[in-house]
């Protein structure tokens, strides 16, 4: 039986739809620095966990920039051009500057969020510095969850901007939690004033 053009097109579109739907599923990736649950549809991490330990600083980031990952649909350089959003590290580069392999791993778009420039360079950075003071005494497990809802901004290049970030910090020796919530905007208070009650 001879196929009509319409039927041929329908047959062709079905596999493409299935491939597209498959490609946009959330993915979980674990490496030597962090474990992340990544939303390919939002082009942003949903949750990322790392351990902050007393590592020496042996290497420098220099002019290193973020890289995309094979087979994962992430944000990329275009999402961060001419806007207020920084390429915000979740697992901090400075925490993993003990060797070049670890440092380079932090410069993955799997570890990158659209973060307000003032937050990224201000109170978020200061809490990361505090973590490195705390980990001189005991190791920390840090989980970051990103806040999304239907009101979130989708920028023209396709990525979705998180509403905010929660840091859940577990002190492994003293077995206590500290949690902090940061709206994704220019901070109006100090990092320690963002402390919230932990629910675990």
What does 129-163 look like in DSSP terms, one character per residue? HHHHHHTTTS-EEEEEEEE--TTS-B-TTSPBPPS
Q: Is 62 helix (H, G, I), strand (E, B) or coil?
A: coil
Say what the pLDDT of residue 19 is: 43
Mean of the pLDDT values across residues 149-157? Answer: 97
Mean of the pLDDT values across residues 13-28? Answer: 60
Q: Is 171 helix (H, G, I), strand (E, B) or coil?
A: strand
% the chain with pLDDT above 90: 86
Q: Is the confidence at residue 97, as pLDDT, over 80?
A: yes
Q: What are the tens digits of pLDDT across the range 21-79? A: 455 899 999 999 999 999 999 999 999 999 999 999 999 998 899 999 999 999 999 99
Nearest-CA neighbor of 107 among 76, 142, 65, 143? Answer: 65
Q: Is the confidence at residue 2, as pLDDT, over 50?
A: no
Q: Is the confidence at residue 192, as pLDDT, over 90?
A: yes
Say what the pLDDT of residue 200 is: 76
What is the DSSP-derived secondary structure letter of residue 149? -
Say what the pLDDT of residue 23 is: 53
Say what the pLDDT of residue 14 is: 40
What is the DSSP-derived secondary structure letter of residue 154? B
Q: Which residue has the tokens 């097109």?
A: 9
Nearest-CA neighbor of 167 among 113, 118, 102? Answer: 113
Say what the pLDDT of residue 26 is: 97
d(CA 90, CA 74) in angstroms, rounded, equals 15
Residue 14, H or E segment: helix 5-23
Q: Is the confidence at residue 110, as pLDDT, over 90?
A: yes
Mean of the pLDDT values across residues 153-160? Answer: 98
**Which token pair is 141?**
């497990």
Nearest-CA neighbor of 49 among 126, 156, 151, 146? Answer: 146
pTM, entire model: 0.88
């Amino acid at each position: 039986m001879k196929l009509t053009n319409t039927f041929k097109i329908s047959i062709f579109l079905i596999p493409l739809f299935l491939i597209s739907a498959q490609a946009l599923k959330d993915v979980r990736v674990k490496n030597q620095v962090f474990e992340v649950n990544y939303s390919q549809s939002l082009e942003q991490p949903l949750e990322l966990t790392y351990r902050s330990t007393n590592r020496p600083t042996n290497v420098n980031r220099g002019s290193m920039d973020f890289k995309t990952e094979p087979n994962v649909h992430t944000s990329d350089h275009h999402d961060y051009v001419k806007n207020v959003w920084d390429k915000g590290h979740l697992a901090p580069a400075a925490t993993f500057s003990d060797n070049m392999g670890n440092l380079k791993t932090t410069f993955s778009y799997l570890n990158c969020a659209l973060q307000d420039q003032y937050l990224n360079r201000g109170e978020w950075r200061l809490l990361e510095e505090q973590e490195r003071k705390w980990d001189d005494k005991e190791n920390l497990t840090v989980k970051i969850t990103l806040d999304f809802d239907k009101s979130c901004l989708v920028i023209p290049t396709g990525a979705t901007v998180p509403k905010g970030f929660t840091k859940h910090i577990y002190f492994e020796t003293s077995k206590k939690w500290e949690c902090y919530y940061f709206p994704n905007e220019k901070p109006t208070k100090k990092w320690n004033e963002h402390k919230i009650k932990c629910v675990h």
